[in-house]
Structure 1
């Protein structure tokens, strides 16, 4: 590989990015040794190029397994779509699975108490879950729900599965009230859940879900998503355009 003004590892990263564009998410890349031989560079240069692609969220490196093309599913958040992580992943073309880490009956923190409009003695069921896409860890979430939503609610939630489906089965009509999206440096615990090396920035989502009939708060949660799995897309339609089109008024 010829030397030039651009460092060799960046030139190789740019070249590999072009190749990756023709591959599918989850496809395995050649090993470091194979890439070094193919492009006439050292393993050190190859490793640096793959690390650069990882920083660009184009590949996912798994210790002992190799390097794979990142999925980069479009995670679409829209007022008229169900507030369901699993359904959103399926709509983007992925295969979701949810692993329940724990379901604890506890006192909420002040912000959660305010968001869920709870009294001073009301408790919540706090869920800690890990989401997988195509068998790979993709997100982790801490979600709080009022403990009095239904008898045996905690046990039902501990079984895993879609929160949206569970709430719907109980007769509620989950609807996204608002969602905030930003890039965050995760805590050590969150980074470990996401199987990250170090603590690189990840997508952070904070959401409030209410009952579409009466506005009762049902769910307040914070989620952290790997940016090599998801591209976040926020879509909305102005009330004026929505009313002109004759569609139901979207809540902001």
Structure 2
């Protein structure tokens, strides 16, 4: 199974950054220039760039272009792993979701790195809008090794992945989370019912099973005014 064109472009841009072609903080060529270079439409190129932005590899500066992201100052935080559904129910809200896409594919370079996969492996990649009492809270892109979920139905996976895994005898372990701020793109704004350029909180999370094996790589954008992170130390 071959990767979608935008994933192939994602991989090429990532390789270029890792090889030093573009340095940290350096502006990459415009979408128009890169679309010509790769021989694809600007829409396809934009999807590849968006994926890299969601992963924190690139960052957009309004009016200036797209740049190789600078490393953020980080503070280690610890918290138990809680699913979105569990979190909403704990706050007395009814969780729900709308699946935008759900398909089996070959992993991108980033997905292989985060989930300890090799090129021949397959992943389930799904995009969802998550709601609390019918109000959109976040847009989520989740990647899961296909081998882990191949025997589960789409309904089981999208309704509550953690619950399904635990019912099958898996034990959810720890997670690594990175939180940063960004501005909503036109597409994300449409999904979440906010204005383009409005503040969103971006969470990137790798969740592991008890044995330390990563099973989920999630990139989530939360509406800034509807959600806050609270961690107790």
TM-score, normalised by the number of residues in structure 1: 0.57
Give the equivalent residue in structure 2 for 1:193. 191
Per the alignment, residue 208 of structure 1 pairs with 206
Asked whether the 8 Å contact 1:107–1:123 carries over to 2, the reply is yes
Aligned residue for 1:175, secondary structure, equals strand
Is 1:150–1:170's contact at 8 Å kept on the other side of the alignment? no
Are 1:219 and 2:202 counterparts?
no
Superposed, 1:61-210 pairs within 5 Å as 79=78, 81-153=80-152, 155-156=153-154, 160-210=158-208
5+ residue gaps, structure 2: 1-76
The 3-state SS of whatever aligns with 1:231 is coil
Deviations 1:179-204 (A, max 9, x none): 11111123322222111122212011
Q: Per the alignment, in what secondary structure is the counterpart of residue 228 of structure 2?
A: strand
Does the 8 Å CA contact 1:174/1:218 hold for their aligned counterparts?
no
CA distance in 1, matches of 2:173, 2:108: 23
Q: How far apart, in 2, do the equivalents of 1:80 and 1:205 lie?
A: 14
CA distance in 2, matches of 1:170, 1:196: 38
Deviates more, 1:114-123 or 1:227-236: 227-236
**CA 1:228–1:80 in 2, change beyond 3 Å: closer, same or farther?**
closer
**Alpha carbons of 1:226 and 1:103: their partners in 2 closer, same or farther (altered >3 Å)?**
same
CA distance in 1, matches of 2:204, 2:155: 20
Q: Which residue of 1 aligns with 2:231?
A: 234
Residues 78 and 231 in structure 2, CA contact (< 8 A), matched pair in contact too = no
Question: Higher relative contact order by CA 8 Å / sep ≥ 6: 1 or 2?
Answer: 1
Once the two structures are superposed, residues 193-218 of structure 1 have per-residue CA deviations (whole angstroms, 9 ceiling, x without a partner) of 11112221201110010101x11111
TM score, norm. by length of structure 2: 0.62
Tell me, in whole angstroms, the C-alpha distance in 1 between the residues paired with 2:135 and 2:117: 36
Task: Count the aligned residue pairs.
Answer: 157
Paired with 2:156 and 2:123, the residues of 1 have a C-alpha distance of 14
Q: Secondary structure at the match of 1:160?
A: helix
Q: Contact 1:97–1:132 (CA<8 Å) still a contact in 2?
A: yes
Residues 28-65 of structure 1 show CA distances to partners (whole Å, capped at 9, x for unaligned) of xxxxxxxxxxxxxxxxxxxxxxxxxxxxxxxxxxxxxx
Contact kept? 1:106, 1:124, Cα under 8 Å: yes
Q: Is the 8 A contact 1:177 1:208 kept in 2?
A: yes
Provide the secondary structure at the position in 2 that maps to 1:102: strand
Q: 1:187–1:197: structure 2 CA closer, same or farther, 3 Å change rule?
A: closer
- After superposing the two structures, state which structure 1 stretch, 141-150 or 103-112, moved more: 103-112
Deviation at residue 110 of structure 1 after TM alignment:
1.2
Deviation at 1:157, TM superposition (A): 5.2
The Cα of 1:123 is off from its aligned counterpart by 1.3
Which structure has the bigger radius of gyration?
A: 1
